[in-house]
Amino acid sequence: MTDFLSGEQGAVAIAGAVKSGRTTAVAVAQAALSRIAAADSTLNCFTAVTAERALQEAAAVDSAIGRGEDPGPLAGVPYAVKNLLDIQGLPTLAGSVIRASAAAPERDAATVAALRKAGAVLLGALNMDEFAYGFTTENSHYGVTKNPHDLSRVAGGSSGGSAAAVAAGLVPLTLGSDTNGSIRVPSAFCGVFGLKPTYGRISRRGAFLFVGSLDHIGPFARSAEDLAAAFDVLNGPDPGDPVCSDLPQEFCLSDLTKGAEGLRISVAGGYFMKQGEPAVFEAVTAVAASLSASHVVELPEAARARAAAYVITASEGGNHHLNDLRTQAERFDPLTRSRFLAGTLVPAAWVSFAQRFRTWYREQMREVFKNTDVILAPATPCPAIRAGQETIVLDGKTMPSRANLGIFSQPISFIGLPVVTVPVHVPGRMPVGVQLIGAPYQEAKLLRVAWELQSRGAVSAPVSCP
């Protein structure tokens, strides 16, 4: 029974052990709470721990099993969520102090409700960049979330608490959000698996959005199986989210063992083969070799897509917070305030041009995916940077670090494509990530490739806890 109480076990294994009676949901929850109590003062992943709720939910799972009822596919699995997702009775901070005094929501976010229905057990809310505008989770209000692999380095952002909590084995499953790379960057920096689903594939009802036309909700885990199990529970239509797809719920876990068979896999060339440190390109090469993938594809105008994503992000984000910027700008995190203010000044003509380009770019990418199923690309231009590091050197040029950590993720976010980030660990080095990019609604193919790579030992997510 002890093995299932350790931070080494994944969500699928825990659920199987709880349902079979090899352990109990309450014991699993207690063990996870103990790990959080022991390590989080060092890591700073959590902004709130919902211990009482966790034990109540775990007891309900055990009671259902005792009555012979199906407790759900994620029975007893501990999880936590980025603090921009509503948790009933707990203020939704979104990384800010401005929202600390907001009325607590009366119900959970759609994703939290779905996980609870599946038998998962909520342990708390996780740290993030203020209002999801950042790539490092260096939050001036709630502190820096540290990278479990090297405490001097950042966990990435804006979902840094979500990635670090999984990497450290505090919980096997977390939720984050991704606008321009906020799942993929911390997945890469912390060496875990992350899924940014197709735009609208998972409901955002009950999420405090950053950029409504770009935001996605998705899971972090330490295996392809756990990502698939979470996606199976979370995806599906929701009339409460106006952009949520009306496609029926999809189930991917049972198809993972098909692996990469029959899939056309390519490597992103041009833009995605420069402006990065050697380690990130070596990871792409290693993943491609494991899959025997040698075909190179060009993503048209990727640099311009990144620029257009910047324009839309700045404009929508700034205008979302316009009233607070006018009335209480001093309460914003200094790391985000200037960017939000700048966003309010973006000319409408620029936004209009960016949106027209977005339509063109989407059509061009449809043509690309007629000849390939999965595209490999770096997730970040470098491994995790050090806390407080202001610059990075890419191709011999010194560049601002925070602004350029999404150099490879932003062109993909721009049109809402699904991406699974897989972690590559080389002994003696910080982990890096590789994006598996697919056409819209092709999450199943990406998860199959992630499983194939995991099975071959090309990618992995070992626990690293200080």
pLDDT of residue 465: 86
Of 82, 146, 196, 445, catalytic: 82
Within a domain: 16? yes
338 is catalytic: no
Of 96, 158, 315, 401, catalytic: 158
82 is catalytic: yes
182 is catalytic: yes
Range of the domain at 224: 2-455
Within a domain: 119? yes
Within a domain: 466? no
Would you say 87 and 125 are in contact if contact means Cβ atoms under 8 Å apart? yes
Within a domain: 463? no
Phi and psi for 194 in degrees, rounded to 5? -140, 145
DSSP 107: S
Within a domain: 464? no
C-alpha 271/C-alpha 258 separation (Å) is: 31
pLDDT of residue 79: 98
Within a domain: 441? yes
The domain total for the chain is 1
Within a domain: 260? yes
C-alpha 87/C-alpha 276 separation (Å) is: 38
Give how far Cα 202 sits from Cα of 245, 345, 460, Å.
Answer: 8, 32, 25
Within a domain: 465? no
pLDDT of residue 2: 58
pLDDT tens for each residue of the chain, 466 residues long? 458 899 999 999 999 999 999 999 999 999 999 999 999 999 999 999 999 999 999 999 999 999 999 999 999 999 999 999 999 999 999 999 999 999 999 999 999 999 999 999 999 999 999 999 999 999 999 999 999 999 999 999 999 999 999 999 999 999 999 999 999 999 999 999 999 999 999 999 999 999 999 999 999 999 999 999 999 999 999 999 999 999 999 999 999 999 999 999 999 999 999 999 999 999 999 999 999 999 999 999 999 999 999 999 999 999 999 999 999 999 999 999 999 999 999 999 999 999 999 999 999 999 999 999 999 999 999 999 999 999 999 999 999 999 999 999 999 989 999 999 999 999 999 999 999 999 999 999 999 999 999 999 999 999 998 8
Closest to 129 in 3D by CA, of 231, 208, 50, 244: 208
DSSP 3-state assignment of 76? coil
CATH code at position 65: 3.90.1300.10
Of 96, 182, 203, 409, catalytic: 182
Would you say 300 and 394 are in contact if contact means Cβ atoms under 8 Å apart? no
C-alpha 94/C-alpha 90 separation (Å) is: 12
Residues 6+ apart with CB under 8 A from 294: 267, 288
